[in-house]
Amino acid sequence: MTGMTGAERAAALAVALEAARAAGDLLLEHLGAVDPREIGRKSSARDLVTAADVASERLLVARLRDAFPDHAIESEEEVKDPADDRLRWFLDPLDGTVNFVHRLPCFAVSMGLWSSEGPEVAVVHLPYLRETFHATRGGGAFLNGRPIQVSNTTELSEGILATGFPYRRHELVPNNLENFNRFFLRAQGLRRMGSAAIDLAYVADGRLDGYWELYLSPHDVAAGGLLVREAGGLVTDVDGGEDWLRGAHIVAAPPGVHEAIRSQLEHGTELP
């Protein structure tokens, strides 16, 4: 699995944008019509899956299989191709399922394409809010076609930070509450969006001044991490390294506050 050419990235982006918007339309058809009897639970009672998650994933997978039969796919619900050296799509067909079930507007379709050189293409589509973020390696980051960039914040006291908490929060140590408490009096404000893809997209657009989270999966961050990097931000694991795709923890922020955030965090060793 080698890097991609600019033309290959453009072709992959075009397919991903169309697929994400189609999946978003499908999600909107399900919104407000979720049958409580059809809501499943995965790792815990808080970790929900609905028919909308599965339908969205199947649509995305079908579009990608048709356009790129040689690409591997690793998605949240049903599809995880074996590890190999192919270009690989990481899909979250409905990031923010709990929000979706409760008819809160913060949910997204997230699609990230990776090569051996790292993230190549990213799409994060927020269907209810009609916002579509995209990025390609070396090509910048965009919201609905306009360029975006991270904020120029350099002081935590002036920053709005976001994070999230694991579904198995009663089992995991640390469960991120300790980290949250460290920033409670230091930051201007703290937010909990309920969607890692949206948190990362909002950091890329300068709405948030930083984001960290623990116990994540690759499909949570594969697309959003590229958005932040292409918007001028820094993305690392909590240790400051590059293992943020599969390492289960991430810090994304403008250069001016990234280290100030990262240096305050502790993380566990358990993968999601």
CATH at 198: 3.40.190.80
Tokens read off for 5 = 């050419």
Look at residue 161 and tell me if it is in a domain.
yes
* Better-predicted residue by pLDDT, 39 or 72: 72
Residue 139 and residue 211 in one domain: no
CA 82 to chain centre: 22
Look at residue 185 and tell me if it is in a domain.
yes
Look at residue 24 and tell me if it is in a domain.
yes
Residue 113 and residue 214 in one domain: no
Answer whether 256's CB lies under 8 Å from 158's CB: no
- Residues 262, 161: Cα–Cα separation, whole Å: 12
At 78 the pLDDT is: 86
Q: Using 50, 70 and 90 to split pLDDT, how confident is the model at 38? A: low
Question: What burial class does residue 184 get, using C-beta atoms within 10 Å of its C-beta: 0-12 exposed, 13-18 middle, 19+ buried?
Answer: exposed
Residue 196 and residue 135 in one domain: no
- Radius of gyration of the chain from its Cα atoms, rounded to whole angstroms: 17
Look at residue 30 and tell me if it is in a domain.
yes
Give the residue from 141, 154, 265 showing the smallest Cα distance to 209: 154
Give the residue from 75, 65, 204 showing the smallest Cα distance to 134: 204
At 177 the pLDDT is: 87
Residue 174 and residue 136 in one domain: no
At 176 the pLDDT is: 83
At 51 the pLDDT is: 83
Residues 116-133 have pLDDT tens digits of 999 999 999 999 999 999
What is the percentage of the chain residues whose pLDDT exceeds 90?
A: 76
Residue 142 and residue 207 in one domain: no
Residue 103 and residue 185 in one domain: no
Greatest pairwise CA separation for the chain in angstroms: 51
Residue 141 and residue 11 in one domain: yes
Look at residue 272 and tell me if it is in a domain.
no
| pLDDT for residue 235 is more than 80 | yes
The mean per-residue pLDDT over the stretch 49-71 comes to: 92
Residue 121 and residue 162 in one domain: no
Within 8 A by CB and 6+ apart from 203, the residues are: 150, 162, 209, 210, 211, 224, 227, 228, 231, 233, 252, 253, 254
Least confident range of 96-105, 137-146, 165-174, 234-243: 165-174
Q: Using 50, 70 and 90 to split pLDDT, how confident is the model at 58? A: very high
Look at residue 1 and tell me if it is in a domain.
no
Look at residue 226 and tell me if it is in a domain.
yes
Mark which of 88, 116, 147 sits at the end of a domain. Answer: 147
Residue 51 and residue 78 in one domain: yes
Other Cβ atoms less than 10 A from the Cβ of 181: the count is 10
At 272 the pLDDT is: 64
Number of independent structural domains in the chain: 2
Within 8 A by CB and 6+ apart from 170, the residues are: none
Residues 166-203 have pLDDT tens digits of 766 566 667 888 989 999 989 999 999 999 999 999 99
The mean per-residue pLDDT over the stretch 101-112 comes to: 95
Residues 202-226 have pLDDT tens digits of 999 999 999 999 999 999 999 999 9
Within 8 A by CB and 6+ apart from 265, the residues are: 179, 182, 212, 238, 249, 251
Look at residue 221 and tell me if it is in a domain.
yes
Mark which of 115, 147, 179 sits at the end of a domain. Answer: 147
Q: What residues make up the domain containing 79?
A: 6-147
Residue 212 and residue 165 in one domain: yes
Mark which of 147, 178, 205 sits at the end of a domain. Answer: 147
Give CA angle at 255 (203, 188), nearest 5°.
60
What does each C-alpha distance from 133 to 48, 140, 164, 174, 205 come to in angstroms? 25, 11, 21, 32, 9
Positive or negative, the CA dihedral 129, 165, 38, 53 is positive
CATH at 95: 3.30.540.10
Predicted TM-score of the model (pTM): 0.92
Average pLDDT, the chain: 90
Residue 142 and residue 164 in one domain: no
| pLDDT for residue 152 is more than 70 | yes
At 167 the pLDDT is: 64
Residue 26 and residue 109 in one domain: yes
